Amino acid sequence: MSIDPTNAPAETSAEATTAGQSPAAPASSNRAVAFGGVGLGIGLVLGLVIGLAVIPAVGSVAGSVAGGVVDAAQPSPIIAATETCGVEDSLYIVVGDDGASLSMDSTGEESKGAPYSDILCVLDELDTPDSVLNRINSTRALDGRQSADWGNFSASWGYHPNSGANIIIDFTRD
């Protein structure tokens, strides 16, 4: 109620409403709806933008982690080759770097080493090309250290009649 000079009671909104007319909504109510709608719109746009930026990044990280788990579950080709050839416990055919490298020493005139047949078995299991096998077989002491690459492997080797062949193979995952 408001006081007016005539002491007549002020009209209430119910009294002011005539048949078929609705009372005018307060201005603050319209403003709140407008701000709420704008805030909701901005939130949706930001959510989409951030979602589109973050989801691919998280997906690639998850893919990398999952790929790493799959890679870790599979033995390296070097480990698989030594196991297939039954030389995983050989003193002269040694796997290093958690399966990423291999060192093989053959028998020489003055030193012990792995039989050449064991070394050939491992090289065969690693799908060593014939061209590389022929280069290893024809290396002389005077040739020094030789090298070759195939697939995910790189190899270097040397030979001396007294100490035999020394072959080092490195494996790199894609």
- For residue 53, tell me if it sits in a domain: no
Cα–Cα distance between 95 and 82 in angstroms, integer?
8
Poorest-pLDDT segment among 30-34, 58-62, 95-99: 58-62
Q: Based on C-alpha coordinates, what's the Rg of the chain?
A: 40
Ranges 21-25, 33-37, 101-105, 166-170: which has the least confidence: 21-25
Which residue shows structure tokens 């060192």? 103
Question: How many structural domains comprise the chain?
Answer: 1
Question: Could you report the per-residue pLDDT of 135-150, keeping only the tens digit for each?
Answer: 999 999 999 999 999 9
Burial (0-12, 13-18, 19+ Cβ within 10 Å), 116: middle
Distance separating alpha carbons of residues 63 and 60, to the nearest angstrom:
5
Please give the C-alpha separations between residue 49 and each of 57, 77, 114, 167, in angstroms, as whole numbers: 13, 43, 62, 54
pLDDT one-digit tens code per residue, 114-136: 999 999 999 999 999 999 999 99
pLDDT score at 131: 97
* Domain-located, residue 5: no
Asked if the model's pLDDT at residue 48 lies above 50, the reply is yes
Q: How far is CA 30 from CA 11, 25, 58, 165, in A?
A: 23, 7, 41, 89
> What residues pair up with 149 in beta bridges, in sequence order?
154
Q: Which residues form the domain of 113?
A: 77-171
Asked if residue 59 is part of any domain, the answer here is no
To which residue do tokens 């491992």 refer?
122
Q: What is the pTM assigned to this prediction?
A: 0.59
Q: Is residue 30 part of a domain?
A: no
Percentage of residues in the chain with pLDDT exceeding 90?
A: 55
pLDDT of 51: 73
Eight-class DSSP state of 115:
-
Beta bridge partners of 153: 150, 171
The residue length of the chain stands at 174
